[in-house]
Structure 1
Amino acid sequence: MKSYLGLIPISAKVHKRQNRMTLLCIIFAVFLVTAIFSMADMGVRMEQTRLLDKHGSSLTFQDLLSSTLAQTLFLAAAILFALILVAGVLMISSSLNSNVAQRTKFFGMMRCIGMSKRQIIRFVRLEALNWCKTAVPIGVVLGIAITWGLCAALRFLVGEEFSAIPLFGISLIGIISGIVVGIVTVVIAASSPAKRAAKVSPITAVSGNSESAKILTHAANTRFSKIEMALGVHHAVSGKKNLVLMISSFALSIILFLSFSVLIQFVGYLMPQSSNASDIDISSSDGSNSIDSAMLTEISTMQGVERVFGRRGLFDVPAGIGSDNQLTSTVDTISFDEFDLDWLTKDKLLRKGSDISKVYGDSHYVLAICDTNSLLKIGDEIQLENEELEIAGLLKYDPFNSDGNANGQITIITSSETFTRLTDFNGYSLIMVQTTSNVTDEDVTAISSILDENCTLQDRREQSTAGTYMAFQICIYGFLVIITLVTVLNIMNSISMSVSARINQYGAMRAIGMSKRQVTKMIAAEAFTYALSGCIVGCVVGLLVSKLLYDTLITAHFSYATWSVPIVPLAIILMFVFVAAIVAVYTPSKRIRNISVTETINEL
């Protein structure tokens, strides 16, 4: 061996088991970034194909950059890149710190035979970079493979607008981003453990326990708990840097989970999926209520039709709003069939306090659509067509406008029976048709053939975003599963390595009379100190990040959207954290129980 650096591959083989989690963290970071940027790149290529079909050869790079899809994809990828980088740094730093703590005697021996502090730092950093030779290629290959699998699923299973997505595309952006995040993460993460290893003096290191060199100024507090529980908490909080890294590692997992949960909501706002979305619209040419109501019955019996419902409408109707009942405003009035009214409840479009049950049938109750800052409220009276109507509910946003804003206009929704009583109109201005999954073009042509010249048919089947929405949901939930899995593995590994770093201390405690049950409780106290602290920090910071992302991605574009505490995602990730902490206690406590006291004391 020509140089002390020749010890790096030997050390990697000897500590292969301890390094598994660190390797997994690097693979996880590289894989996620490669897959995210590769999918974003494939999406941009698909958008480029669409724009080329639209603009022809006149398509410019500016046209591509101005595309909403391209901007959204790369903005989301950039945010996730930063979060994954930070999460990777903290998880790898935590693992490396525990690794260094276990090898204190090794670094002390190196110092004793002449290795300088600078050489120790270089050794630890190069040892960490040595893992990249294995972890980075594996992460890149996995990222590419997942990208190909997702592209194939989108093209053949979802189809529709994904028919142009590349199948076996190689994204240089994705590969370079994955390699960069892998190397940068390791370099940053190795900095603190390397300095920690270099600071250990040879005399302290040869003793095999760097913790013993610390001067204890006070004993563990046993006033409120038993000695083993107090010692477990003391072990967790005594090493400040390790505590910060462990808490940050757990907290980042929660933050990542909550951040990805915001993306799920963002996709929902970007591509809203309404249960009453129509595949075919039949409207009167002049916008009047001139479509015969008998046409609904006729269309409902035709091949390929699943459901038919209609709407009537009158616009700019004089109305009196408020207690004075003065005709001081105009409103748009739209009738909803029973299925349409059911949709409002099913898709949760009503504001709190609304009672839609009053609106069904022939009644004196209506629903209203207005701006969020409007003075109109539930229970207000509206004079319409010489009748007093009461507002039984308000909608959260205007479903008839793409941006959800009412723009100062008040719209009244009534039942079909109430609308007919008020206006004497029996015909429809719009008939909406939902088709079956096996509908054919011939079925649509048959529907078109029964329409008269006053009707216009619009085939909206190709405009459906259900496939895209499902694809994004699957991708995001897939990443959430990966984050949860890595969170569990990281917690288990971190606690196990923390216990291993203090193995001789536990041996000494066993030697002076501590029982196996007490040792298990001590390890559990240490584990739950990390978990509870990490959950508190993760919840506080995670909710702040969640709101920031929500305001940036959603509220900035959909002014009616309001952030609320994500109770379900928060409960899910907290449950996994505490379950992982419980499971993590089992392996190290079993290990200590199964070896003798003398063997534990002599363990390095």
Structure 2
Amino acid sequence: MKSYLSLIPISARVHRRQNRMTQLCIVFAVFMVTAIFSMAEMGARMEQARLTGKHGALAFSDLFGSTLGQTLLATAVFMFFLVLFAGVLMISSSINSSVAQRTRFFGMMRCLGMSRRQVTLFVRLEALNWCKTAVPAGAAAGVLATWGLCAALRFLVGEEFSSIPLFGVSVLGITSGVLVGVITVLLAARAPARQAARVSPIAAVSGNAQPAKAARRAVHPGFFRIETALGIHHAVSARKNLLLMTGSFALSILLFLSFSVLIDFVDHLMPQSAAASDIDITSSDGGNSIDSALLQTLGQMDGVKRVYGRRSCFDVPAGLDGDAALSSTVDLVAFDDFDLEALRKDGLLRRGSDLEAVYGDSSYVLAAWDRYSGWQKGDTILIGGEELTIAGLLQYDPFNSDGLTGGKITLITSGSTFARLTGITDYSLLLIQTTADATDEDVAAIRRIAEESGCTLNDRRDQRNSGTYLAFVSCVYAFLGIITLVTVLNIVNSISMSVSARVKQYGAMRAVGMDGRQVRHMIAAEAFTYAVLGGITGCALGLPLHWVLYDFLIARRFPYAVWRLPAGPLALILCFVIAAALLAACAPSRRICRMPVAETINEL
């Protein structure tokens, strides 16, 4: 051996199994950043090609000066630092536990003459040694994922993604991924390296990571069993380890909540509706002049899956809040039963709305709503001598492009209620959903019948964006799945290594009479302490961050959008955190309980 640095590859081979999770964290961090920046650049190249074809020459810098470019860049940079921060905590926790388990090794090296500076350098170079395989693997996986996503967008989705590059290589994405891998490892190795350098040779050779601290007072179990109290005490007594473990849990929640905002962003950018039509037929005069018999005729034609209609009356005299003089006006829109049910399926109804009361011939209606509206559920409106009650509110006004009511009350009624109030039974708009195998000849036949009836047909089939929506949502869910996987693996690995660093303590407890069940409960209590504290910290930081991102990406672009507590994503990630803590406690518990007491005490 020419130098102590020659031990680094030897140590890597010996501790290959222990280092596997740390390397996997590096791979995931590099992969995520490479894929994020690569997809952002591919999207920018596609947009640049589209704008160049439309406006002529366009510089790449001009694209990032646009609103879309700035949004892509800002989101990618934010995710870069978020992943970097998460990676530092995850990898630092793993390295810290690895150093604690190899205290005797560092102590022996100190006894042989290695200085503190050399120990620090050894730990940092050992961490960088993992990057030799982890960083290229992560970058390659990111490039391959980008190619796969681009191919799926181009061939499966098509539409506006038909010009996206197939095998583009993003220098920005690869460079960002490599930087994340190297910087994350260097930052994560700083604290463990200093910790290893501070260990004295005598203490290290004895097998103790830190000088023994005299217990000033006994652990009081309080309402807990003694093994549960000891597990909680183990978790909170080591402040540095508690900070790293809690931070790992919290960062996982932060990452999950941050990426979940993108789901809401896509929902607002490309709203999907169960009542979305492929063909619209409107009256030539803009009134309710489409014969109701036409609906049955179209419903029996080839290529037609479903036909439903709407009726409307505008500026109808109405009395609000008991105004018998009818000094106000409202707009009335009649929905068929399918259209009404679609409001529920699309989640457009505010909580507490009673949709069932609106069906049939009733005196109940729905009202479009926004945050500036003064009307509420239960308010009454007088129309034509009849009193109508608002049974529910919509999340926004679907009849205005900005989603705001502008102070105008729009009431949605059933067809029967509308006919009773106005005496109108014909339609102003027919909406058609076509079958998957509908042909242009089928649409041409529908057009002929519509034109013979004096109506105008609008073919909207080329405006479908369900494939694009599915592509974006799939990408976001893929990243959420990766985050969840990293969360579970990191928690399992960190708690397992934390327990392994205390093998001697558990051996001593078993020697004085603690049975296997109590050991399992003690380790589970320690794991759940990290989970609870991490969950509280993650919620305290993640929810404000979720609101900030929601405001930046959604609320500023869609005035009707209102932030709500992300109960679903929050409950999901908390369940995964708890499940990960439970899973993390199982393996080390079984391993310690199966080891003989003498072997446990002598374990390094």
TM-score range, shorter chain: over 0.9
Gaps of 5+ in 2: none
The count of corresponding residues between Structure 1 and Structure 2 is 603
CA contact (8 A) 1:284 1:290 kept: yes
* Paired residue secondary structure (2:245): helix
CA contact (8 A) 1:120 1:198 kept: yes
Would you say 1:375 and 2:374 are equivalent positions? yes
CA distance in 1, matches of 2:68, 2:440: 29
CA distance in 1, matches of 2:196, 2:446: 78
Match of 2:137 in 1: 138
Amino acid of the structure 2 residue aligned with 1:164: S
Shift of 1:466: 0.8
Match of 1:575 in 2: 575
Shift of 1:284: 2.4
Match of 1:457 in 2: 457
Match of 2:514 in 1: 514
CA distance in 2, matches of 1:205, 1:322: 81
Which aligned pairs between 1:183-582 and structure 2 lie closer than 5 A? 183-452=182-451, 454-582=454-582
RMSD of equivalent CA atoms: 2.3
Amino acid of the structure 2 residue aligned with 1:243: L
Shift of 1:363: 3.4
Give % identity.
65
Amino acid of the structure 2 residue aligned with 1:584: A
* Paired residue secondary structure (1:327): coil
Which aligned pairs between 1:10-89 and structure 2 lie closer than 5 A? 10-55=10-55, 57-61=56-60, 64-65=63-64, 69-89=68-88
CA contact (8 A) 1:158 1:471 kept: yes
CA distance in 1, matches of 2:552, 2:355: 33
Shift of 1:53: 3.7
TM-score (structure 1 length as normaliser): 0.94
Deviations 1:236-283 (A, max 9, x none): 222110111011111211222222222222211221111101111122
Change in Cα spacing, 1:161 to 1:497, as seen in structure 2 (3 Å) is same
CA distance in 1, matches of 2:431, 2:474: 29
CA distance in 2, matches of 1:284, 1:53: 37
Shift of 1:410: 1.8
* Paired residue secondary structure (1:208): coil
Gaps of 5+ in 1: none
TM-score (structure 2 length as normaliser): 0.94
Shift of 1:510: 3.3
CA distance in 2, matches of 1:334, 1:18: 66
Shift of 1:598: 2.9
Shift of 1:432: 1.1
CA distance in 1, matches of 2:384, 2:222: 77
Shift of 1:387: 4.2
Shift of 1:134: 0.8
* Paired residue secondary structure (2:327): strand
Change in Cα spacing, 1:68 to 1:336, as seen in structure 2 (3 Å) is farther
CA distance in 2, matches of 1:517, 1:358: 57
CA distance in 2, matches of 1:426, 1:593: 78
- Residues 438-447 or 184-193, more deviating: 438-447
Shift of 1:23: 0.4
CA contact (8 A) 1:107 1:205 kept: yes
CA distance in 1, matches of 2:65, 2:449: 43
CA distance in 1, matches of 2:364, 2:500: 70
CA contact (8 A) 1:118 1:198 kept: yes
* Paired residue secondary structure (1:170): coil
* Paired residue secondary structure (1:18): helix
Deviations 1:469-504 (A, max 9, x none): 111221122222222222111111111111221222
* Paired residue secondary structure (2:275): coil
Shift of 1:551: 2.8
* Paired residue secondary structure (2:450): coil
CA distance in 2, matches of 1:466, 1:536: 37
CA distance in 1, matches of 2:438, 2:65: 36
Shift of 1:71: 4.2
Deviations 1:432-483 (A, max 9, x none): 1111111122221221122337432221112112111111221122222222
Change in Cα spacing, 1:372 to 1:590, as seen in structure 2 (3 Å) is closer
* Paired residue secondary structure (1:389): strand
CA contact (8 A) 1:282 1:458 kept: yes
Shift of 1:129: 1.2
CA distance in 1, matches of 2:390, 2:522: 62
CA contact (8 A) 2:492 2:581 kept: yes
